[in-house]
Structure 1
């Protein structure tokens, strides 16, 4: 399941966010750029995918496109799981909602944590920390939700406030909410972000495997 997390999410707990066709599914483009195939080695899934997406990001250990698709970008990453960690609630963390999306998008533009769109907040619980002036300076939240697992995502801090442990605090606070539901947290980060990998290791996450985030473009005639 963790080898194909987006399929597990879109065919399971997050099916309500799916645009699906046969053996393929994707999130609404306003939510996330990710899609999934039941079996990336099955040509039928790629044909189904072509009916719902022109460009899509697929996630897994290794994905090679079949006929009608080409790879436009590949980002190597790692997956980490929190099977034995303990979350910690943070009294300074506030729940972020749809009304906070403009600020969240502004923070994402400055901090560059990865894909985050105007409806990503719909996927789960997002927490933030505000500065003394009320400005949103750090956030983290939930993205892919699988049976028994929820991904911690969009962990980011305004560059002016890095080095204060805000990202670690919010990661633990988001994990606390996941654990309280009886689920386990997991996350992804790019493979060369050694600082993040060390941080997540100190927080109790363990390396569970390598993944790639591959962007594919549909080249079949319309």
Structure 2
């Protein structure tokens, strides 16, 4: 088995090799998620990303290559780089003691639309309805309304990523995100897996993640490409 440290250097790749292998779309050694679930792609050999990108774009208009330090190659007659999101990976060291006073609900299939709508309200752009299938989602409700969530995204036999940390603008600064991240982290630890997360460099939420016990470990960049 590949070590945790090696998996964390290329989390999309190893997620698609293990837990999410049923979502795998592969072109000549370059791995992508089924575009209905996610548009993340991964590689080791950047010389293969040109043809693979062209093939993947037959079924979607955009995708991300996720890479620690490699630069993908593309066919610029068919694909253009919209932006490079300079991100970072954080890995849990020791979870801080967090008082969970809200009722946190495991969100079943009945909440797919509410999850989708809340994420698109706060972070519009790239979440897909079937992204929900990548892992468990948890939420806090107020007056019958879903107002804050966290989810699980990339995962293998060794780690699970905390993702989709979203709170409705009318319900921020109430500690909901902190409690949800702590709850989701505990659920990952119960599976004897390492909790990780990814965020943009300079994100104002990084101090919160650090207070919860997450540590910055490496760069993890998102290259967003679109069809010409």
Pick from 67, 75, 79 the counterpart of residue 85 of structure 2: 75
Pick from 35, 38, 42 the counterpart of residue 41 of structure 2: 35
Q: Taking structure 1 as the reference length, what is the TM-score of the superposition?
A: 0.88
Look up the match of 2:57: 53
Counterparts of 1:121 and 1:82 in 2: how far apart (Å)? Answer: 23
- State how many pairs are aligned: 215
Look up the match of 1:24: 30
Shift, 1:65, TM fit: 2.8
Look up the match of 2:3: none
Q: Residues 153 and 187 of structure 1 are in contact (CA less than 8 Å); yes or no, is this contact kept in structure 2?
A: yes
Shift, 1:146, TM fit: 2.4
Look up the match of 1:206: 215
Q: Residues 53 and 74 of structure 2 are in contact (CA less than 8 Å); yes or no, is this contact kept in structure 1?
A: no
Counterparts of 1:110 and 1:127 in 2: how far apart (Å)? Answer: 17
Q: Residues 95 and 125 of structure 1 are in contact (CA less than 8 Å); yes or no, is this contact kept in structure 2?
A: yes
RMSD between aligned alpha carbons? Answer: 2.1
Shift, 1:192, TM fit: 2.1
Shift, 1:45, TM fit: 4.5
Query: Cα 1:81–1:31, aligned 2, differ >3 Å: closer, same or farther?
Result: same
Pick from 177, 188, 194 the counterpart of residue 178 of structure 1: 188
Structure 1 unaligned runs (5+)?
Answer: none
Pick from 197, 204, 210 the counterpart of residue 206 of structure 2: 197
Query: Cα 1:204–1:82, aligned 2, differ >3 Å: closer, same or farther?
Result: same
Query: Cα 1:85–1:61, aligned 2, differ >3 Å: closer, same or farther?
Result: same
3-state DSSP class of the match of 2:8? coil
Look up the match of 1:125: 136
Q: Taking structure 2 as the reference length, what is the TM-score of the superposition?
A: 0.86
Query: Cα 1:31–1:89, aligned 2, differ >3 Å: closer, same or farther?
Result: farther
Identify which range, 170-179 or 22-31, moves more after superposition: 22-31
Query: Cα 1:87–1:173, aligned 2, differ >3 Å: closer, same or farther?
Result: farther
Counterparts of 1:113 and 1:153 in 2: how far apart (Å)? Answer: 15
Counterparts of 2:131 and 2:34 in 1: how far apart (Å)? Answer: 10
Shift, 1:217, TM fit: 4.0
Look up the match of 1:150: 160
Q: Residues 68 and 218 of structure 1 are in contact (CA less than 8 Å); yes or no, is this contact kept in structure 2?
A: no
